[in-house]
Structure 1
Amino acid sequence: MQDLSLIRKTLRKKRRLLTTFDQRQAAQRVLSKLKQIPKFQHARSIGIYLDAFGEIQTQQIIEECFHLNKKVYLPLICNMNQQLVWIHITPSQYRNKRFAKHRLGMLEPMSTRGTHVSNLDLLLIPLLACDRLGSRIGMGGGFYDRTLAQAKRKPYRLGLAHHFQLSDTSFKRAPWDQALDGLITPEISLHFKR
């Protein structure tokens, strides 16, 4: 049996050790690969996270979405059901940092009215680890899994990760785990078969 807490601890530490330069380079390379993916090119509404814990930084991706006139949606944790709702954010809201800090440490948009994940074309998802079959290990809160499990129509789910987060060892998938459709690291782009 895989020790998920050990995997999470090891990879969180590895992410924290990345330099600012490493993070910036990784973000640029991921954006370059993302722009080549048809699912991104054709998506009109994109759900994306605000990086907070050493994930692939998303500022350049968000700005590129604005530049391409794509609608950007940020996640907000709904306290009633511990699922994510998606808040549409304008360039001025984003650039003026209209966010509140959640108790878990990440920033969230300041709004209570959001849209359901089913309304998004593309969902860019953070992760701690992913195997070559699309099984994702997150931070442990289960927010993305719960949200996607309730979706009638699922957007294309694309994980963003540093290359060391891609595992050659397959992870055991629990019945509630929501697999990715694809993964981008600074080195490669993968599409997983369903």
Structure 2
Amino acid sequence: MITQKSQLRRQLRQIRAAISIADRQSAAWAVTHCPQILQKLRRGKKIALYVAVGSEFSAWPLIFLALRRGCLVYLPVVPAVGRKMSFVRLNQDSVWQIGAYNIPIPFHTEHCQARNLDVVFVPLLGFDQSLARLGQGGGFYDTTFTFRRNRQSWKKPCLIGLAFESQRVGALPSEPWDLRLDAIATELAYYRPV
């Protein structure tokens, strides 16, 4: 299964990298008009987003929209050691710095535990109709949100993948620790579990 995932990651990275800049920008702005997403971005809600790296789906339009709508916006901080991320506040008081893997992160005194977030927008390499997610392979999101697997009914925070439609595949190989999403937003659709 590891070899299968590695090959799939390589293929999906190539597909994602081939998307034009214009199509990337268009897709990133398209999700800001999705009614299901707009419903989640309410004043005072704790919303986690991310700074896209490489060819990842850009979350910047959603970051700007969430801030404008009065949400409390947080960005993940990838640890130098281990896999459990923390989340740091992004607002006008934030000062940018470079974190692990050269990912820009805001420096702010306010942090939020993963359990206390309301909605988390998640990057991904691939997804399927069951909302299985194929990530970069580091296991950071899987580890950070492992507590959600133990819950039977209450699934906070809501986990929404951001992806290009071309990242959708027939079926992904899945292991017990792989993160399942509550929804996935692309430039064309908003997917929920079937």
Q: TM-score range by the shorter chain?
A: 0.7 to 0.9
Q: Give runs of aligned pairs for residues 132-171 of structure 1, distance below 5 A.
A: 132-150=129-147, 154-167=156-169, 169-171=170-172
Give identity over the alignment, percent.
Answer: 26
Q: Give runs of aligned pairs for residues 2-21 of structure 1, distance below 5 A.
A: 3-21=4-22
Measure the CA separation in 2 of the matches of 1:115 and 1:172.
Answer: 32
Measure the CA separation in 2 of the matches of 1:112 and 1:177.
Answer: 31
Structure 1: segments with no counterpart, 5+ residues = none
SS of residue matched to 1:11: helix
Deviations 1:68-118 (A, max 9, x none): 01000000023343211010111453xxxx333334232222357622111
Residue 82 in structure 1 maps to residue 83 in structure 2: yes
**CA distance 1:111–1:69, change in 2 (3 Å):** closer
- Give TM-score, length-normalised by structure 2: 0.86
Q: Is the 8 A contact 1:75 1:109 kept in 2?
A: no
Measure the CA separation in 2 of the matches of 1:148 and 1:160.
Answer: 17
Equivalence for 1:102: 99
1:23 positional shift: 1.0
Query: Aligned AA for 1:56?
Result: F
Taking only aligned residues, the RMSD between alpha carbons, in angstroms, comes to: 2.3
Measure the CA separation in 2 of the matches of 1:75 and 1:125.
Answer: 10
Measure the CA separation in 2 of the matches of 1:102 and 1:16.
Answer: 23
Equivalence for 1:172: 173
Equivalence for 2:24: 23
Measure the CA separation in 2 of the matches of 1:35 and 1:190.
Answer: 10
Measure the CA separation in 2 of the matches of 1:92 and 1:58.
Answer: 20
- Give TM-score, length-normalised by structure 1: 0.86
**CA distance 1:111–1:91, change in 2 (3 Å):** closer
Range with bigger deviation, 100-109 or 2-11:
100-109
Residue 64 in structure 1 maps to residue 85 in structure 2: no
Query: Aligned AA for 1:68?
Result: R
Number of aligned pairs? 188
Measure the CA separation in 2 of the matches of 1:68 and 1:22.
Answer: 25
Query: Aligned AA for 1:13?
Result: Q
SS of residue matched to 1:78: coil
Query: Aligned AA for 1:127?
Result: L
Query: Aligned AA for 1:25?
Result: S
